[in-house]
Structure 1
Amino acid sequence: MSRKKRHSHEEHIDETWLIPYADLLTLLLALFIVLFASSQIDAKKLGDMRQGFNAIFSGNVGVMNQSSTIAGNSPNTTDIPNGGAQDPGKITDARNEALQLMQLQRDLDKYIQQNNLHETLTTTLTGDGLMITIGEVAIFPSGSAELLPEARKMVGEISKMIIAQPQKVTIAGHTDNIPIHTREFPSNWDLSTKRSLNFMKLLLENSKLNPAQFNATGYGEFRPVATNDTAEGRQRNRRVEVEAGKRLRE
């Protein structure tokens, strides 16, 4: 009786899917290379982002509340070489500064809401710091640099909130384009400068603030935020801005 030979049968595994998969990976790699080559990377903005908000996110800190306003395309003052090593101490400082500014904005937004000051007091978080904008109607009589009596309470509250902020603080006065010609104020520039100076002096009545971190300036009608062709626009332009910026560096 003849024996049938048993032939070993090797199971064949279909590996044809690897070819299109490898092609797909190659195409994706090529796409990323093209995108990277065609992009323009701003080293300053990247460095500022690394030192600030990215540091916050890496530290598991919650994002800003919904009432916060972020303004983009602001100039940066930190210059980090692209790809260079970063000082861990500077990263920590940048993170702490950003956290303090965010907390200051939350405190101010709460104060604004509690006192129904939305029309006269606003906050804007920018790449350089926190901008606090106060409308003229809440702090000065028309054509005057003497603060209204009721403005003292609001300015006092602001001074309390910025005590814990180790940043430089710049106060800037602004006017509309309606000319002023008085003995005290020959021009809008004089009026805006005197207003910012008086506002700063009132802030510094709080002895816990460091005067070395403050400065005041006036821009007259030359930096409007709205048109001067309407009464509403001119009212928006008459304002004082308080910018709590980054800490003064040695």
Structure 2
Amino acid sequence: MSRRRNKKSHEEHMSESWLLPYSDLLTLLLALFIVLFAMSSVDSQKFTELSRAFNMAFEGGTGVLENNSPMPDGMLTGMEGEEGTEKEKEEKKKEVTADAEIEKLTYIQQRMNAYIAENHLAEKLETSLTDEGLLLTIRDNVLFDSGVAEVRERDKYIAREIASLLVMDPPRNIIISGHTDNVPIRTVDYESNWELSVMRAVNFMKLLQENEKLNPAWFSAKGFGEYKPVAENKTEAGKARNRRVEILILPRTSLDDKN
């Protein structure tokens, strides 16, 4: 009798044990569907939230969902590769745009150099391509009398000729800057070289804008006083080089193209 009871009890115990593997199987199937769903979506944040919620349902532990990546390593690498390719394309596009802009500025420089040569102004005007853009340097004795910010009447034609060279399609932003030597100045009109350099830049800029084809919105003016020298102020030649007005033509950017 005792053996029968033990056997019956054992059979009842065995008959209930199938529930455990069955529930594990359902759990694994559910996990599989969640993984497949997450893989079909590129939203890593959504997958992370689902993963965290599912692992909490399991009351912790390490499983297939405890992975920082929402996709298998190989697939993730592929995605990163595509992103890298897009970045490379964008960088390549910027390089092509920059190269094209350098060519355009070089063409503008050639026009300016031709004007300088035709008018025998090589000792008074010069151009150079810099990291910032195309720079036209004008010696102060070309346009101004000593200590004066107004452009001389006889030299206004030079400003008008330069203005015609600044008519470009598409237009570019232009910065006019004034510079002086280190000789102090204190007059009724100008208390320091700051005021003199600023007003020379402003007056020259106003003269350029008499050309109706130039939009004033493209221009800005700066004054640096004696603090941006291009030569030493120890000699008269050095001081003459430092007394100057500069026109900086900026290259166009993608932001400019949108405006």
Q: TM-score, normalised by structure 2?
A: 0.61
Matched, 1:150 2:154: yes
Shift of 1:89: 5.8
Shift of 1:91: 4.8
Match of 1:180 among 176, 185, 188: 185
User: 1:89/1:213 Cα in 2 relative to 1: closer, same or farther (>3 Å)?
Assistant: farther
Kindly provide the CA deviation profile for residues 23-79 of structure 1, in whole angstroms up to 9, marking residues without a partner as x.
xxxxxxxxxxxxxxxxxxxxxxxxxxxxxxxxxxxxxxxxxxxxxxxxxxxxxxxxx
- Richer in helix (by share): 2
1:236 corresponding residue in structure 2: 241
2:229 corresponding residue in structure 1: 224
The aligned length equals: 170
Match of 1:136 among 140, 157, 160: 140
Q: Which runs of 5+ in 1 are unaligned?
A: 1-82
SS of the residue 1:208 aligns to: coil
SS of the residue 2:126 aligns to: strand
Question: 2-side partners of 1:156 and 1:90: how far apart?
Answer: 34
Shift of 1:193: 0.2
Q: Which runs of 5+ in 2 are unaligned?
A: 1-86
Asked if 1 retains the 8 angstrom alpha-carbon contact of 2:105 and 2:251, the reply is no
Matched, 1:190 2:190: no
Alignment of 1:11-30 (within 5 A): none
Give the letter aligned to residue 89 of structure 2.
A
| Runs of 4+ deviating beyond 2 Å | 87-97, 247-250
Kindly provide the CA deviation profile for residues 156-206 of structure 1, in whole angstroms up to 9, marking residues without a partner as x.
111111111522100000000000001210000000000000011011111
Shift of 1:94: 2.8
Alignment of 1:73-92 (within 5 A): 84-86=88-90, 90-91=94-95
SS of the residue 2:153 aligns to: coil
1:199 corresponding residue in structure 2: 204
Shift of 1:140: 0.4
Give the letter aligned to residue 204 of structure 1.
Q
What RMSD over aligned residues (CA atoms) do the two structures have, in Å? 2.1
Matched, 1:209 2:214: yes
| % identity of equivalent residues | 43
